[in-house]
Amino acid sequence: MLEKLIQSRLQSRVREILPEANLATVLVRPCPDLKFGDYQSNALMAIAKERKQNPRKLAEEVVAGLDVSEWCEPVEIAGPGFLNFRAKTEAVTEVLKSASRGDHLFFERTKAPRNIIVDFSSPNVAKPMHVGHIRSTILGDALVRSLRLLGHHVVTDNHIGDWGTQFGKLLIGWKQDLNRTNLEQNPLAEMGRLYKQVNARFEADDGIKTLARQELVNLQQGDPENLKIWREMIDLSLQEFGKVYSRLAIQFDHVLGESFYNSQLKGVAKNLLDLGLAQESEGATVVFFEKSTGWSDPAIILKSDGGANYTTTDLATLEYRLKTWQPAEIVYVTDARQQLHFQQLFHIFRRWHPVAEVSLSHVWFGMILGPDGTPFKTRTGENIELNALLDEAEERALATVTEKNPDLPEKERLEIARVVGIAAVKYSDLLPNRQSDYRFDWDKMLALTGNTAVYLLYAYTRIRSVARKAAEAGAGASVEALQLTLPSELALAKHLLRFGLSIEAMAAEYRPNYLCNYLFELAGLFSQFYENCPVLKAEGSDRSSRLVLCELTGRVLKKGLEILGIETTERM
């Protein structure tokens, strides 16, 4: 793309003047204010500061020998040393022609692909997926899609919670009060009922506590009956999770739960003890932290009863992933409450494997709030089940579709409602800064105006409608006819060129909101173009040229929504 060509030429020029300069910092990015140009670089100011040079003079020296005339108007130096680049209309036109021929879609695959593991979703067995799983599941999937599109090798692992003390209680309920009919009709609801029933008696009945501990010990020791029940719980849970993932069009390469690592836990603890990283304290095996970390409490590796916890399991998981997939990076997508856990986990791991060349990233996110600003729950205070939330999204979308298009066949209305409802839920989750809490608002997320999935889908269907009408009239897009003469045409074309940058920024910083905002701006620019530049009513080369712009905008909208995990529809 143009910015990469300009950047490469700029780096070559800097190398001529300063051979020792770090060219990785010499970047060209979109200009934040288009009145100054299309692209900008502020790299020379930092380079000059390091060398105690005058940044303006360095900029003048660089520009004096910088030839980007095939793509840009004369380079302008602004302020203390900003370089502003304004793309030539002919250069923009040629990039669009290349995209229209199918050479690219305004992005490039990386020349240095990395192996990346993304750990996301991670529901607990025997419990329905609820609203709290939305962000990890949808955000993780979008990040995976962006990384794969750019050419990275991504392994997805759903680290489900399939082990722990809750199974002692579940085993009691299963053996004493299981309703097989209910289990067949709604497995997770029945297991939830059993857990709540036993848990209600747990604190007040020492006999239940003793029995639950014994059932758990029997399971951990491989009791055949308990293992059979436990495996059935997992199988049923995975089937139910699969229904949700299917609705969301999300797949995983691996589903390796906590139990997968059980056999490694004592080995991890022993290794940490042998290396002097862990020590015995009050019967437990713990890792103490240096004062400089600010963490006063140690991390427990093995409890006094010999049981492991999340830190132990996550260390074993890390070691397994390194040996199995040799990743360059491992990304964990969880809520903000787990920040301390992952900070300590990464700290311990770095001391345990100091030479491991792997980047560890915790991509954390804020909470979903209800309209009143409190955590989003049912009126009775329980977590809202994810399936029920998706059902409501589709029902609300169907009501809107039926109101606007009552004559559409029911089957078509239901399909449009499915696409729109799921899209609205996903987009409303991906649009905010992921580290912020956001309010779940049905009216806002299903609105036809504003930065919503519905608005973007409507823009796409409008483009598809133009294409159908053009075909009916015997008109078509002509690459050779492409010309950018009016301001609205040029503005739309230049924004198309920024598609790749938005994907790269999203993948680099794990922030889908960058792509969401890009697509919203694209839809707005297309609307302006459509209002100011007649398409179907135009004639000859003007019509052929504008159909090219329509077609490219539609392709970018579709691909952008696809990266976000959102389907498109031909009609709304």
Name the pairing type of β-strands 39-41 and 29-30.
antiparallel
pLDDT at 132: 84
Q: Are 175 and 226 in contact (CB under 8 A)?
A: no
At 305, is the pLDDT very low, low, confident or very high (cuts 50, 70, 90)?
Answer: confident
pLDDT at 378: 67
Single-letter residue type at 567:
E
* DSSP H stretches of helix in 474-539: 487-496, 499-509, 513-532
Residue with tokens 């052929």: 544
Residue 326 has pLDDT above 80, yes or no: yes
Single-letter residue type at 106:
F
Tokens of 557: 């909208």
At 308, is the pLDDT very low, low, confident or very high (cuts 50, 70, 90)?
Answer: confident
Helix (H), strand (E) at residue 230: helix 224-248
Please tell me whether residue 163 adopts helix, strand or coil conformation: coil
List, for residues 52-88, the tens digit of each pLDDT value. 999 999 999 999 999 999 999 999 999 999 999 999 9
Q: Are 144 and 154 in contact (CB under 8 A)?
A: yes
Q: For the chain, what's the residue count?
A: 572
In angstroms, rounded to a whole number, what is the distance separating the alpha carbons of residues 335 and 366? 6
Single-letter residue type at 137:
T
Phi-psi map region of 481: left, alpha, beta (phi>0 left; psi -120 to 50 alpha): alpha
Residue 1 has pLDDT above 90, yes or no: no
pLDDT at 499: 98
Name the pairing type of β-strands 153-157 and 438-439.
unpaired
Q: Are 306 and 361 in contact (CB under 8 A)?
A: no
In angstroms, rounded to a whole number, what is the distance separating the alpha carbons of residues 133 and 334? 9
Please tell me whether residue 184 adopts helix, strand or coil conformation: helix
- Of all residues in the chain, the percent with pLDDT exceeding 90 is 89
pLDDT at 376: 85
Residue 382 has pLDDT above 80, yes or no: no
Domains defined for the chain, CATH in brackets: 2-87 (3.30.1360.70), 166-248 (no CATH), 386-563 (1.10.730.10)
Single-letter residue type at 320:
Y
Tokens of 372: 């009143």
List, for residues 214-260, the tens digit of each pLDDT value. 999 899 889 999 999 999 999 999 999 999 999 999 999 999 999 99
List, for residues 464-519, the tens digit of each pLDDT value. 999 999 999 999 999 999 999 999 999 999 999 999 999 999 999 999 999 999 99
* Residue 151: partners with Cβ closer than 8 Å, 6 or more residues away: 109, 110, 113
For residue 498, the 8-state DSSP code is T
Single-letter residue type at 539:
E
Other beta carbons less than 10 A from residue 221's beta carbon:
9
Q: Are 500 and 108 in contact (CB under 8 A)?
A: yes
- The candidate with the shortest Cα–Cα distance to 335, out of 121, 94, 559, is 121
Residue with tokens 């060398």: 51
List, for residues 174-210, the tens digit of each pLDDT value. 999 999 999 999 999 999 999 999 988 887 788 898 9
Q: Are 40 and 31 in contact (CB under 8 A)?
A: yes
